[in-house]
Amino acid sequence: MKLSFGFAAVSLFSLASATIRTGFEVWDEAIGAGCVDKSLNYSMIVNPTSVTRNLELEVDYLVRTKELNLVSVIGPEHGFRGSGQAGESIGGDYVDPINGLTVVDGYNFKTAANWRDSYIRTGTQVAVFDIQDVGSRFYTYISTMYDSMAGAALAGIKYVVLDRPNPIGGIVVDGGIVSAGSASFVGRTPITQQHGMTVGELALLFNNEYLSSHPELSGLANKKVDLQVIKMQGWTRDMFYEDTGLKWVLTSPNMPTIDTTMVYPGMGMIEGTTISEGRGITKPFEIIGANFIKDVPMKNWVDGLNALNLPGVIFRPQYFTPQGKQKMADTMCGGIEVHVTDRKSFRAIPTGIAVLCSLRDNFPADFTLTTNNYIDSLTGSSTLRNLLNSGANYQTIVQSYQDQLAQFLTIRNKYLLY
pLDDT of residue 90: 63
Q: Which are the contacts of 410, defined by CB distance < 8 A and separation ≥ 6?
A: none
Evaluate if residue 8 carries a pLDDT over 60.
Answer: no
Q: Is 211 exposed, middle or buried (0-12, 13-18, 19+ CB in 10 A)?
A: buried
**Percent of the chain topping pLDDT 70:** 94
Q: What is the average pLDDT across 64-69?
A: 92
Evaluate if residue 14 carries a pLDDT over 80.
Answer: no
pLDDT of residue 175: 98
Q: What is the pLDDT of residues 323-379, one digit of tens each?
A: 988 999 999 999 999 999 999 999 999 999 999 999 999 999 999 999 999 999 999
Q: Which are the contacts of 35, defined by CB distance < 8 A and separation ≥ 6?
A: none
pLDDT of residue 18: 65
CA angle in degrees (0–180, nearest 5) for 293-324-268: 60
pLDDT of residue 84: 57
**Spatial CA neighbour of 127 closest among 104, 151, 159, 102:** 159
CATH topology of domain 258-381: Aspartate Aminotransferase, domain 1 (3.90.1150)
Q: What is the pLDDT of residues 19-51, one digit of tens each?
A: 899 999 999 999 999 999 999 999 999 999 999
Mean pLDDT taken over the chain: 93
Evaluate if residue 285 carries a pLDDT over 60.
Answer: yes
Q: What is the pLDDT of residues 383-404, one digit of tens each?
A: 999 999 999 999 999 999 999 9
d(CA 367, CA 358): 10
CA angle in degrees (0–180, nearest 5) for 264-265-266: 90
Q: What is the average pLDDT across 109-120?
A: 96
Evaluate if residue 3 carries a pLDDT over 80.
Answer: no
State in words which class domain 23-252 has: alpha beta
Q: Per-domain residue ranges for the chain?
A: 23-252, 258-381
Q: Are 160 and 127 in contact (CB under 8 A)?
A: yes
Rg value, the chain, Cα: 21
